[in-house]
Structure 1
Amino acid sequence: MSKPTVAIVGRPNVGKSTLFNRIMGGRPAIVSEQPGTTRDRHFGDADWQGRRFWVVDTGGLLPDSEDSMDRAIRRQVEFALDESDVVVFIVDGREGLNPVDRAIADRLRKAGRPVLLAVNKLDNLEQSTEQYGFYSLGFGDPVGVSAAIGKGSGDLLDAIVERLPPYNPAEDEETINVAVVGRPNVGKSSVVNRLLGEERHVVAAEAGTTRDAIDSVLRFQGKTLNFIDTAGLRRKAKVEDDLEFYSTLRTERAIERAQVAVLVVDAAVGLHNQDLRIATQAWEEGAGLIILVNKWDLIEEKDANTARQGQEALVAKAPFLRHVPFLYVSAVTGQRVRKVLDLILEVAADRERRVPTAEVNKVLAALIERNAPPQKPGEEVKLLYASQIATAPPTLAIVSNRPDEVPEAYQRYLANGFREAWPFTGSPLRLKFTSRGSRR
């Protein structure tokens, strides 16, 4: 990442995610009164007084806990510290100095990063003196804030910006947002970790270990790939509490953000109806789509036709899947996982493909010659010419004397014919029929 990075670190339930959301101006991380709601790192792109920087929200840090999840969170915090240029160490001003705060302070001193101490939950800053009790941590003047109501956040951002290294926006490369989606426990985080080459996301056998949408950045072949690993999508009827509902909503928003959606499915289970709903949502949103069949190594009885037969059965359920690439992988062994990076670039490029108008009309003429539009007596339908009017996804406008009379079956014929000329791999292709002189 070429932009500077700021990591927010602290023990559980001191308000890290609330501060993160305050800085981001929205709700890009889950906030709950339940300690440990933030299990992983969450990236956000912040802007303060013209300075852009990444902000990383981390899980609640308990340096001495032997709990397996706490140990996993410690590893994630270590990664965040390694990547950071500035650390915001957040403590609870209502509770006062805690022994865990001292243990975290010792760890931060060893990290060798600039540390800014933020004392949170001070709703009345004018009369508050609680922040001064934290001087003993050795990080200089604390900044008092109330992340929940926004008090002191401007002063904190000023202090952060003062500590940032120089940033050259020209260094940024084109970013491709990739939403990694799927039902719980299909191996989404394991796939992302294998791609990133590090154990960045908490991985456990418990379904739903990843509760939120987590951004992780990887550079590949001159592009910046921003992976959004999401909570597993369950049927909404099964979402029993606000926390899980909000995670489901976050996943849907991640799909809206994405140029490419990677739908991870379990090879042993196949494509569930919920998977089809996710795929349909991504397709209708105009995202590129890849189906990643994980745990392929666990399928013992398979031959050269197993994958093909499975795909044919799925296409029968959802015909648009014939335009979607399938990749059979194992996140555990690494089998074919790296191929997904090349495939993401291919799908993203085809989604942005622009075809010259002359070529579009040449193909249109050939399709009409091969199979003319169906005609009704006295209602001749003519297709006059066509041009591409948009990318992401590719959209072709076809001018007709009777745009509302082109049958759906013939529209599908044209779309398939255009795909024969330009595959638009994994990308939706939209056709708009319009009359001469109308606004597109």
Structure 2
Amino acid sequence: MLPVVSIVGRPNVGKSTIFNRLIGKRKAIVHDEYGVTRDRHYGQTYWNGIDFNVIDTGGYLPDDMDVMVVGIREQVHIALEESDVILFVVDADHGINTLDKAVANLLRQQDKPVLLVANKADNEERRMDAVEFYELGVDELFPISAISGTGTGELMDRITELLPVIDPEIEDPSPKLAFIGRPNVGKSSLVNALLNDERSIVTDIAGTTRDTINSKFNYNNKDYILVDTAGLRKRTKVKENIEFYSTVRTARAIQECDVAILMLDAMRGFEDQDKRVLREAEKYNKGLIILLNKWDLVTEKDTNTVRDFEQYIYESVPMLDYVPILTISALNKQRIHKVMDVAEQVIQERKKEITTSAFNDFLEGILRERPLPMKRGRQLKIQYATQVKTNPPVFKFFMNTPEDLPANYRRYLENKIRERYKFTGVPITMVFRQK
């Protein structure tokens, strides 16, 4: 594991801006509104030949008992436990306040290096005035401007001097499972149940998780990365900038994952927003799974209830009837490990490779069963086909006039491929080229 640097401080001192500056990407949500960063957010960076992780945390409020504030406070404590170096961020524009002193009291309990970072020191006067922060009892002070980058080089130099030496690792090859869906369907609850760890803030407030959170998870001696995403809202309801950023970030999580796991609230059904995000994941050729969460709350159940719900979903998205559907209860941990079993199955299906000879023998049989039609007085012919890619699977067909191949015959070919080779939960790409 790479060494870890955490960024802590009271709300609205620029922690997320510093995080983005240190990792060199606009990864954390940056906004003037209080409480935007709610969960720990991880990023990786490189300086002076050293790779390390950076954790951005929510604003620390010591006494507020609001459910969200309590959750943020717990997240900060977890981040501190994971850290090798702690950056204590204060606001050089506003000076010391009582919340800064509360954070300082918390950090005095940590037996780890703490660097005091006076952000917003955008001019010489503020840099000179920053010496007042020595009153907080931290020995090393770094006046910086996260927006302009002033002083961040010296800060990074000192961070890398304090970090433990760890052998560099190659990029994590573990498959990524992204849990996606509307707000408050139980994504964070499921991730927490799998991890058996309060890795995300879980409340019944819609939209609690605004940034994506990645967690390493080992199941049946295999490593995975679980990606808990912000709840997707209908576009017309994305009014706040931060909600928009979260929606964009969820889309990125879909693009970067191996398997997209769409969670539905069994009490609310399958809505247009769910269909849209499922098709979005299919567009990027991701492995697909649908979870009906809160199944324990469905009171009127019989032997056909699951089948009827599956039929309802498949009729809503008829081209996606290859996607497996599971019923679970994240809260009661019912069948949650079945999710991992099916996810592993989908991962293996994405990697499935069919030899060219076997595939052409199969193709010859289905062409005999349903010959290609005539177009403009010419008989359409597929000479041969081959799988040109795995993970995800791509098949290339060579024929005389591919532009004349009807859409219903393409669908027929895909149905026959699935009938023979399954590819459960995996979109199939078929490319037709003129020989």
CA shift at 1:221, angstroms? 4.1
Structure 2 distance, partners of 1:392, 1:407, is: 27
Q: How does 1:4-403 map to 2 (within 5 A)?
A: 4-124=3-123, 128-170=127-169, 173-376=172-375, 378-403=377-402
Amino acid in structure 2 at the alignment position of 1:284: K
- Does the Cα contact within 8 Å between 1:173 and 1:224 map onto a contact in 2? no
Q: 1:26 to 1:299 in 2, by over 3 A?
A: same
Q: Which moved more, 1:353-362 or 1:195-204?
A: 353-362
Amino acid in structure 1 at the alignment position of 2:43: G
CA shift at 1:262, angstroms? 1.1
- Does the Cα contact within 8 Å between 2:380 and 2:401 map onto a contact in 1? yes
- Does the Cα contact within 8 Å between 1:208 and 1:231 map onto a contact in 2? yes
- Does the Cα contact within 8 Å between 1:94 and 1:130 map onto a contact in 2? no
Structure 2 distance, partners of 1:123, 1:357, is: 64
- Does the Cα contact within 8 Å between 2:232 and 2:247 map onto a contact in 1? yes
TM-score of the superposition, structure 2-length normalised? 0.94
Structure 1 distance, partners of 2:189, 2:111, is: 30
Q: 1:404 to 1:250 in 2, by over 3 A?
A: same
- What's the CA shift string for 1:200-239, capped at 9, x where partnerless? 2112222122222222332334544222222221111122
Q: Which moved more, 1:94-103 or 1:328-337?
A: 94-103
CA shift at 1:376, angstroms? 3.6
Amino acid in structure 2 at the alignment position of 1:22: R
Structure 2: runs of 5 or more not aligned: none
Structure 2 distance, partners of 1:220, 1:26, is: 31
CA shift at 1:59, angstroms? 0.7
Structure 2 distance, partners of 1:333, 1:107, is: 35
Structure 1 distance, partners of 2:307, 2:110, is: 51
Amino acid in structure 1 at the alignment position of 2:6: A
- Does the Cα contact within 8 Å between 1:97 and 1:134 map onto a contact in 2? yes
CA shift at 1:284, angstroms? 0.8
Structure 2 distance, partners of 1:152, 1:423, is: 57
Structure 1 distance, partners of 2:420, 2:110, is: 55
Q: Which moved more, 1:340-349 or 1:127-136?
A: 127-136
Q: Which moved more, 1:310-319 or 1:239-248?
A: 239-248
- Does the Cα contact within 8 Å between 1:389 and 1:397 map onto a contact in 2? yes
Structure 2 distance, partners of 1:274, 1:54, is: 34
CA shift at 1:196, angstroms? 1.5
Structure 1 distance, partners of 2:158, 2:219, is: 33
CA shift at 1:283, angstroms? 0.6
Structure 1: runs of 5 or more not aligned: none
Q: Which moved more, 1:383-392 or 1:70-79?
A: 383-392
> Is the partner of 2:374 in helix, strand or coil?
coil
TM-score of the superposition, structure 1-length normalised? 0.93
- 1:408 aligns with 407
Structure 2 distance, partners of 1:320, 1:166, is: 51
Structure 2 distance, partners of 1:365, 1:211, is: 51
CA shift at 1:400, angstroms? 0.7
Structure 2 distance, partners of 1:50, 1:195, is: 35
CA shift at 1:66, angstroms? 2.5
- What's the CA shift string for 1:354-378, capped at 9, x where partnerless? 3322232222222223222222463
- Does the Cα contact within 8 Å between 1:125 and 1:144 map onto a contact in 2? no
CA shift at 1:40, angstroms? 0.8
CA shift at 1:182, angstroms? 0.8
Amino acid in structure 1 at the alignment position of 2:370: N
- Does the Cα contact within 8 Å between 2:6 and 2:57 map onto a contact in 1? yes
Structure 1 distance, partners of 2:413, 2:200, is: 44
- What's the CA shift string for 1:268-292, capped at 9, x where partnerless? 1111111011101111111111111
- Does the Cα contact within 8 Å between 1:174 and 1:223 map onto a contact in 2? no
Q: 1:36 to 1:235 in 2, by over 3 A?
A: same
Structure 2 distance, partners of 1:14, 1:328, is: 43
Q: Which moved more, 1:281-290 or 1:342-351?
A: 342-351
CA shift at 1:310, angstroms? 1.0
Q: 1:65 to 1:343 in 2, by over 3 A?
A: same
Structure 2 distance, partners of 1:225, 1:339, is: 15
- Does the Cα contact within 8 Å between 2:92 and 2:126 map onto a contact in 1? no
- What's the CA shift string for 1:23-57, capped at 9, x where partnerless? 22222111111111111111122223442222211
- Does the Cα contact within 8 Å between 2:375 and 2:404 map onto a contact in 1? no
Structure 2 distance, partners of 1:48, 1:221, is: 36
Q: Which moved more, 1:115-124 or 1:209-218?
A: 209-218
Q: 1:20 to 1:223 in 2, by over 3 A?
A: farther
Amino acid in structure 1 at the alignment position of 2:248: L
State how many pairs are aligned: 435
- What's the CA shift string for 1:163-207, capped at 9, x where partnerless? 222233347642222221111111111111111111221122221
Structure 1 distance, partners of 2:359, 2:193, is: 40
Structure 1 distance, partners of 2:73, 2:382, is: 63
- Does the Cα contact within 8 Å between 1:180 and 1:263 map onto a contact in 2? yes
